[in-house]
Amino acid sequence: MKKRFGQHFLTDRSILRRIVEFAHIPPEDTVLEIGPGSGALTRELARAARHVIAIEIDGDLIPSLRAAMPGNVEIVEGDALEMEWPPGAFHVLGNLPYNVATPLLKRFIEHRARIPDVTVMVQKEVAERMMAEPSTHEYGPFSVLVQYYANVNYGFTVYPGAFKPRPKVDSAVIRLEWRPDVPSAPRFTDFVQQAFASRRKKLANNLLSMFPSLGREEMLRRIISTGVSASARPEELSVAEFLRVYNQFR
């Protein structure tokens, strides 16, 4: 195991099967697996899908993976954060390393036109942030980003004893299904990120820092016109409310 890669290999076969069942992979489709590790989930995926492309960053694991996999599995050495995706459409599955789960999820969103859905295991805290509702501690710009683009379905919790070595935290299996007809909006997500810059400040104060030329009176007028309270804080706004506010300032 290499600490720098955040490796924790899932060894409980019943959980591996549950992940594949939860993913609902059509048997004629292609799956892109992130971080096959020891290949336990890869073997289960090979039984469920026509073609499996498994991306592994640890070069020391590549020979044993290639030697052990059936013919419908392609092992690719590389960094899933940086490498080009294979051509065509594919479902994404994997046990995402804790240290890169968030940037990987953002990359899946960027390429969602080719990815019908995403079923991954992440740190439970990350799953809770993705599903968080307004006015909760977990709710933040990452919650808004994910919920703008996707419906997040919580599968089940996976406890440390299912891994080798044991992680210090619980994990969770989640599935992202893209919301239909949602346009890409990088400026909107940047706007939300800036609006959360000082979490405990009122939204109006954060926006005044972003648009100082408008003045406080005009700022409050625009916020109130969206149906949002002038005294609201960023963590109190739903995704729909953030969109209405954004459209007043875009």
Per-residue pLDDT tens digits for 197-225: 887 889 999 999 999 999 999 999 999 99
CB 158 within 8 A of CB 172: yes
The answer to whether residue 5 scores a pLDDT higher than 80 is: no
Does 3 score more than 50 pLDDT? no
Tell me if 91 sits within 8 A of 115, measured CB to CB. Answer: yes
| Domains of the chain with CATH codes | 3-178 (3.40.50.150), 186-249 (1.10.8.100)
In residues, how long is the chain?
250
pLDDT for 81: 95
Distance (Å, whole) CA 69 – CA 65: 6
User: Percent of the chain beyond pLDDT 90?
Assistant: 84
Pairwise pLDDT comparison (99 vs 39), residue with the higher score: 39
pLDDT tens for residues 115-139?
999 999 999 999 999 999 999 999 9
User: CA geometry: angle at 50 spanning 44 and 51, to 5°?
Assistant: 80
The mean predicted confidence, pLDDT, of the chain is 93
Mean pLDDT computed over 180-193: 92
Cα distance between residue 110 and residue 127, in whole Å: 19
87 pLDDT higher than 80 = yes
Phi, psi of 119 (to 5 degrees): -125, 110
Give the separation between CA 143 and CA 135, rounded to whole angstroms: 12
Separation of alpha carbons 92 and 158, rounded Å? 19
Grade residue 7 by pLDDT with cuts at 50, 70 and 90. Answer: low
Contact 183, 138 (CB under 8 A): no
- Which among 65, 46, 68, 47 has a CA at the least distance from the CA of 55? 65
- 99 pLDDT tier (thresholds 50, 70, 90): confident
> How many C-beta neighbours within 10 Å does residue 60 have?
8
Instruction: Over range 56-74, report the average pLDDT.
Output: 96
- Contact in structure between 174 and 154 (CB atoms under 8 Å): yes
Report the largest interatomic distance among the alpha carbons of the chain, rounded to a whole angstrom.
68
Sheet containing 30-34: which strands, arranged edge to edge? Answer: 73-77, 51-56, 30-34, 91-95, 117-123, 171-178, 150-158
